[in-house]
Amino acid sequence: MAAALQVLRHLARAPLSPLLWGGPLARLASSMALAEQAQQLFESTVGAVLPGPMLQRALSLDPDSGQLKVRDRSFQLQQNLYLVGFGKAVLGMATAAEELLGQHLVQGVISVPKGIRAAMESAGKQEMLLKPHSRVQVFEGAENNLPDRDALRAALAIRQLAEGLTADDLLLVLISGGGSALLPAPIPPVTLEEKQTLTKLLAARGATIQELNTIRKALSQLKGGGLAQAAYPAQVVSLILSDVVGDPVEVIASGPTVASIHSVQDCLHILNRYGLRAALPRSVKTVLARADSDPHGPHTCGHVLNVIIGSNALALAEAQKQAEALGYRAVVLSTAMQGDVKSVAQFYALLARVAGTRLTMPGAGASVEEDEQLYELAAELQLPDLQLKEALEAVVGTRGPVCLLAGGEPTVQLQGSGKGGRNQELALRVGAELGRWPLGPADVLFLSGGTDGQDGPTEAAGAWVRPELTSQAAAQGLDVAAFLAHNDSHTFFCRFQGGAHLLHTGLTGTNVMDAHLLFLQPR
């Protein structure tokens, strides 16, 4: 058995030879090969956006003159540099920043996920850890990506540092995904619990990250440009690792260094949409009414330079390059995949059928009805950068294996009390959809993973599935539909084939949303 596994792993390093596509060994090897390659490419996606290399590309320091260059701007350092940060990737970003800046850094405060230092240490990722006697104070909090008292203490320490700066100082702000939960500072009299409850209710009813952040900003001392205002008159440079579709700086971590463009009316419109306005606590109504009558109006952030240093697009570009090196015809479909997870799953499953038909029977083509349905689904998802036509044309033009890549952040409307995350839920829904119709003589695999390594309140980053999932699960006595009805995807994957389909990376130290990989290989 061990020798057979060695053979299969050897086959997994490259797409299967056309001479082997037909036999039973090839099908067994193909199954393992696709699974291993999917995980390998996911790791490449994450590796492209690790915080250290990205920060080093964005910053350069002339040790002789003390000039710090950020893109095309220069800043003179003279014992006047301070650092704050918040997000899942900020520990590694701060480590790289302190190594580069050395003695120029006077003081720093960062807010990072609970347990991340221990996780990095146990994983041997020393490059993600601050050195002993670092000038950066670390707070850990926001367990399971939810704001808590530890994150609140960190936010208040960050605010205190910012408020003590002068016009001669420079504040370097490191921001990444997860920053919203790690920088909670509600405007009194709103309590952390009240703000958290409101955010949970909105998320459970399907609110987008943009809508969630609009509400968060309205109720926060530091979001929506509040941190930049606290640091004024110091100069502020924000280095941002984007975890939001389209990379809008005002949305990432709720835009602490970007003046909010939203009004109280925007907040009320969102609350009305999800039926929550009538149930608002008195404290929230008080803060919204106060903001509505503020004679000074919204503040500006003219003293701030915001720079995106990493994104989902960068990660997918690296994965595409790695897939092509393995012999795949690789196409990036979209870096803006969003919408309800059910619709996204239907899109991927139908795409697999249409693309698989074109790949294995290029003369036949998919049915007109399936083509129309696919384009209708794509239109409903409203993906601004979707390269669907180009992807299908590329499939027709190749005779070998294909890898279609996408990134983004679908939303899940919670109906049950199960355990899972959007990546595991998406994978399970795609697996169920793939099993609904024959896919022809092609091996198909779909993987969805969160680049931060944690999908919802679980230890998995995501999962991968094949069309046989539903029938294989039924043979184990597992009802896929029942698990989906309870949003219990993680429990399903833990029980299904001993958890073999779960994607485990541990906390990665970065975060640029999710990656979706769809593999099609002719038999």
pLDDT surpassing 60 at residue 17? no
More confident residue, 29 or 234: 234
Go through 342-365 and write b for each residue having 16 or more CB atoms within 10 A of its CB, e for each that does not: bbbbbbbbbbbbbbbbbbbeeeee
Averaged pLDDT for residues 290-318: 82
Please tell me whether residues 271 and 391 are part of one structural domain: no
Averaged pLDDT for residues 333-338: 96
In a domain, 231, yes or no: yes
What is the structure's pLDDT at 53?
87
Averaged pLDDT for residues 359-386: 85
Please tell me whether residues 201 and 112 are part of one structural domain: yes
Angle (deg, nearest 10), helices 388-396 and 341-360: 30
Please tell me whether residues 303 and 322 are part of one structural domain: no
Please tell me whether residues 149 and 275 are part of one structural domain: yes
Averaged pLDDT for residues 317-324: 94
Averaged pLDDT for residues 492-517: 95
Final residue before a domain boundary, out of 250, 279, 310: 310
> 76-134, pLDDT tens digit by residue?
999 999 999 999 999 999 999 999 999 999 999 999 999 999 999 998 999 999 999 99
User: Which of 187, 184, 188, 172 lies closest to 213 in space, CA to CA?
Assistant: 184
In a domain, 15, yes or no: no
What is the structure's pLDDT at 21?
40
pLDDT surpassing 70 at residue 26? no
pLDDT surpassing 80 at residue 20? no
Q: Is the peptide bond before 233 cis (omega within 30 degrees of 0)?
A: yes
Compute the distance between CA of residue 281 and CA of residue 198 in angstroms, rounded to an integer.
9
Go through 303-322 and write b for each residue having 16 or more CB atoms within 10 A of its CB, e for each that does not: bbbbebbbbbbbbbbbbbeb
What is the structure's pLDDT at 52?
85
Final residue before a domain boundary, out of 275, 310, 345: 310
> Cα-Cα-Cα-Cα dihedral of 47, 53, 55, 56, to 10°?
-170
244: tokens are 């939001």
In a domain, 24, yes or no: no
Q: Which conformational region is residue 72 in: left (phi greater than 0), alpha (psi within -120 to 50 degrees), or beta? A: alpha
Averaged pLDDT for residues 288-297: 70
Please tell me whether residues 262 and 217 are part of one structural domain: yes
What is the structure's pLDDT at 28?
53
Phi, psi of 522 (to 5 degrees): -65, 145
Lowest-pLDDT choice from 229-243, 293-307, 412-426: 293-307
The total of structural domains in the chain comes to 2
DSSP string of 386-411? --HHHHHHHHHT-SS-EEEEEEE--B
In a domain, 325, yes or no: yes
Averaged pLDDT for residues 494-502: 97
DSSP string of 169-208? -EEEEEE-TTTTTT---BPTT--HHHHHHHHHHHHHTT--
Phi, psi of 519 (to 5 degrees): -105, 135
Return the percent helix, strand and coil in the chain, to nearest 5: 45, 20, 35
Band the pLDDT of 145: cuts 50, 70, 90.
confident
Lowest-pLDDT choice from 11-20, 198-207, 480-489: 11-20
What is the structure's pLDDT at 16?
42
Please tell me whether residues 144 and 243 are part of one structural domain: yes
Please tell me whether residues 207 and 265 are part of one structural domain: yes
- Do 256 and 179 touch, CB atoms closer than 8 A? yes
Please tell me whether residues 353 and 321 are part of one structural domain: yes
Lowest-pLDDT choice from 316-320, 330-334, 392-396: 392-396
Please tell me whether residues 284 and 331 are part of one structural domain: no
Percentage of residues in the chain with pLDDT exceeding 70? 92
In a domain, 2, yes or no: no
User: Which of 315, 309, 255 lies closest to 52 in space, CA to CA?
Assistant: 309
367: tokens are 């049915």
Please tell me whether residues 300 and 354 are part of one structural domain: no
Final residue before a domain boundary, out of 310, 328, 344: 310
Band the pLDDT of 299: cuts 50, 70, 90.
low
Average pLDDT for the chain: 90
CATH number of the domain where residue 433 is located: 3.40.1480.10
What is the structure's pLDDT at 440?
78
pLDDT surpassing 90 at residue 298? no
Please tell me whether residues 304 and 391 are part of one structural domain: no
CATH number of the domain where residue 294 is located: 3.40.50.10180
In a domain, 36, yes or no: no
Averaged pLDDT for residues 212-216: 88
In a domain, 30, yes or no: no
> 44-69, pLDDT tens digit by residue?
999 999 988 899 889 999 999 999 99
Element spanning 522, H or E: strand 514-522
> 234-287, pLDDT tens digit by residue?
999 999 999 988 899 998 888 999 998 888 999 999 999 999 999 899 999 999
Averaged pLDDT for residues 148-171: 97
60: tokens are 């350069």
Please tell me whether residues 327 and 248 are part of one structural domain: no
More confident residue, 366 or 17: 366
Band the pLDDT of 29: cuts 50, 70, 90.
low
Q: Is the peptide bond before 189 cis (omega within 30 degrees of 0)?
A: yes
Q: Which conformational region is residue 253 in: left (phi greater than 0), alpha (psi within -120 to 50 degrees), or beta? A: left
Parallel, antiparallel or unpaired: strands 402-408 and 514-522: antiparallel
Averaged pLDDT for residues 182-206: 93
445: tokens are 């695999």
Structural domain harbouring 168: 51-310
- Do 150 and 140 touch, CB atoms closer than 8 A? yes
Averaged pLDDT for residues 155-161: 98
In a domain, 1, yes or no: no
Compute the distance between CA of residue 200 and CA of residue 203 in angstroms, rounded to an integer.
5
Lowest-pLDDT choice from 201-205, 327-331, 366-370, 455-459: 366-370
pLDDT surpassing 80 at residue 295? no
User: Which of 401, 504, 406, 496 lies closest to 458 in space, CA to CA?
Assistant: 504
Compute the distance between CA of residue 271 and CA of residue 425 in angstroms, rounded to an integer.
26
